[in-house]
Amino acid sequence: MMYLKLAWRNIWRNRRRTLITVSSVAFAVVLSLILESMSLGSHEHMIDVTAQFHTGYLQIQDPLFEDEPFLDNTFYYDEALRNTILNAHPSIDYIAPRIETFLLAAGDLQARGALVMGIDLEMEHNLNRLKDRLIEGRFFEPGEEAAVLGAGLARRLNVEVGDTLAMLGQGRFGISASGLFEVAGLMNHPLREMDNQIVYFSLPTAQWLLSAEDYVTTILVTPDEIRNTDPIAESLRDALGSKLRVLTWPELMPELLQGIEFDKIQMYIMMGILYVVIGFGLFGTILTMTLERMKEFGLLLSVGMQRFQLSGVIFMETLIISLMGVLSGSVLGFPILLWFYHNPVELRGDMADVMHDMGFEAIMPFYLHPDIFITQASIIFVLAFFISLYPVIRVQTLNILEASRK
């Protein structure tokens, strides 16, 4: 306890030196927090957008549908199946049935291939806030013969709200699927590729068009927390047996996961370089502090203080300074990450084009979770801990006469 009091007093004997050291540690923590938050935020955003608007976090489908995504491989969806799914695990939040296929969509002069998606609007909105994406017109009522198009597809077909959209293709078991539908609204889909080809119908309307009444291609299951995905999948497999297949989001988007893993490797390399820079910065600060006090150390040893006692005091000083820097950095970093978490950076220029070409929104989201504070604070603290051993080693090898003359 005496050594701790002595170390605390020594810290504030030279306030300027202490504040410089604390600031350098705090800056290192803030910088590492921002870098990791940006990286993890981008990964989480990619997964969330793809899962919410495309694959879902969990997907139930016919066993043949993944290899042969045809309407012949649909399955019957009724209230009994819905209850079976919802009761399979307590962590299931809600489900969203869909029927999906590709048809030819045509306006007055243009025709394009389109991804037709029949949805339960309210359930879909729970999953991805779809109604908030509407930029013009309105959404359809259940069973209404109306469509909502992605804004990109509407531009390609040269159609507007109120125009007539012709759909032509093949329904279930080869039956002709054709019809004329009012364009009720236009929406801005976050995935650029889908924005250029998506056509939404109400689930009953799409089932009627495709001669697949009461049948769906997929059911998207949303967990209350993403970490519960695997337990829910196991419960659903037990409840549904072999008649239906249950896939999790890592199985549904392996290409995206490979890209994220590659990006993580790049992040680890950048973080490694950052830690090296931070380490040299901290070491320079500790080195300067140590050299400035060499005469002080020599005088203390010459009046009878034991080396291990002096080493203990110095070690506590640097440890306390490191801890203060880590806590200060965490406190300073939190409002910064909180601001950018609620106000993602909008990318512009070439970077925005790159993100759009990849199929994602041109934003740089941030990740906010206690784990990143614990991880980065711990790494910087351990780094500072090892650097703080330098003055201890210098004290142990110090020549008292030479130090006292400085």
119: β partners: 98, 202
Structure tokens at 245: 């297949």
Closest CA to 383 of 12, 82, 137, 25: 25
Per-residue pLDDT tens digits of the chain, which is 406 residues long: 666 777 777 777 777 777 877 887 788 788 888 888 888 877 777 777 777 777 778 889 988 887 788 888 899 998 899 899 988 888 888 888 999 999 999 988 888 999 999 999 888 888 888 888 899 999 998 888 899 999 999 999 999 998 999 999 988 888 888 899 999 999 988 777 888 899 999 999 999 999 999 899 999 988 887 778 888 989 998 888 888 898 888 887 777 777 777 777 887 888 788 778 777 777 777 777 777 777 776 776 776 777 777 777 777 777 787 788 888 888 888 888 888 888 877 767 666 666 655 555 667 778 788 888 888 778 877 887 788 777 777 777 766 666 556 5
DSSP character for 190?
A: S
Query: Which pTM does this prediction carry?
Result: 0.66
Residue 404's pLDDT is 59
Contact predicate 157/103, CB 8 Å: no
Closest CA to 242 of 61, 118, 26: 61
